[in-house]
C-alpha cells in the first residue's frame, strides 16, 4: 500500500492529476478505515499504463473507455486490443512526422555548420 505522495512520486503524476484521475473514474483508489486514499501495486501498474497512453497523446476520453472496458471483464479484451491498435497507428503516424521534421532540422543545422562560425 502506498500513500498518495508515494504513488505520485513513483508514477511521475502530480497529486492533483491522481485526484483528477480518481474523480473522473479513470482510477479507482481504495481507502483506509480513516478515509485516506491508498494505492496498491495494481494501481501503480495502471498509472504506468496511463503514463504511456498520455505521453503518446491518447485523449482522456479514450483512456477512460479503456479502463471502463477493463473493469467490465475479460470479454472486452478484443475491444481493448482494438482501441490500443488504433492508438498505436496514430503514434506511428506521429513518429513518422516527427522523424521527417527532425531530419529537416538536422539538415538546417548542417547548413549552418557549413557556413562556419561567423560570430
Residue 118 binned pLDDT confidence (cut-offs 50, 70, 90): low
Q: Percentage of the chain with pLDDT > 90?
A: 88
Give the side-chain half-sphere CA count within 13 A for 43: 24
Q: Is the pLDDT of residue 119 over 70?
A: no
The pLDDT of residue 85 is 98
Tens-digit pLDDT profile for residues 67-91: 999 999 999 999 999 999 999 999 9
Tens-digit pLDDT profile for residues 5-33: 999 999 999 999 999 999 999 998 999 88
Backbone angles phi, psi at 30, to 5 degrees: -75, 170
Q: Is the pLDDT of residue 36 over 70?
A: yes
Q: Which three cell numbers stand for residue 108?
A: 538546417
The pLDDT of residue 117 is 64
Residue 56 binned pLDDT confidence (cut-offs 50, 70, 90): very high
DSSP string for residues in 22-39: HHTTS---EE-TTS-EEB
The CATH fold assigned to 4-115 is Multidrug-efflux Transporter Regulator; Chain: A; Domain 2 (1.10.1660)
Whole-model pTM? 0.80
The pLDDT of residue 116 is 76
Q: Taking all residues of the chain, what is their mean pLDDT, rounded to a whole number?
A: 93
Q: Where are the domains of the chain?
A: 4-115
Amino acid at each position: 500500500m502506498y500513500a498518495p505522495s508515494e504513488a505520485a512520486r513513483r508514477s511521475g503524476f502530480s497529486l492533483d492529476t491522481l485526484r483528477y484521475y480518481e474523480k473522473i473514474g479513470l482510477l479507482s483508489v481504495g481507502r483506509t478505515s480513516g478515509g485516506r486514499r491508498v494505492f496498491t501495486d495494481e494501481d501503480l501498474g495502471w498509472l504506468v499504463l496511463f503514463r504511456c497512453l498520455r505521453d503518446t497523446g491518447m485523449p482522456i476520453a479514450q483512456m477512460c473507455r479503456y479502463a471502463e472496458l477493463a473493469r467490465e471483464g475479460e470479454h472486452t479484451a478484443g475491444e481493448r486490443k482494438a482501441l490500443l491498435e488504433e492508438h498505436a497507428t496514430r503514434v506511428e503516424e506521429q513518429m513518422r512526422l516527427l522523424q521527417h521534421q527532425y531530419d529537416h532540422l538536422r539538415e538546417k543545422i548542417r547548413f549552418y555548420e557549413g557556413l562556419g562560425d561567423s560570430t
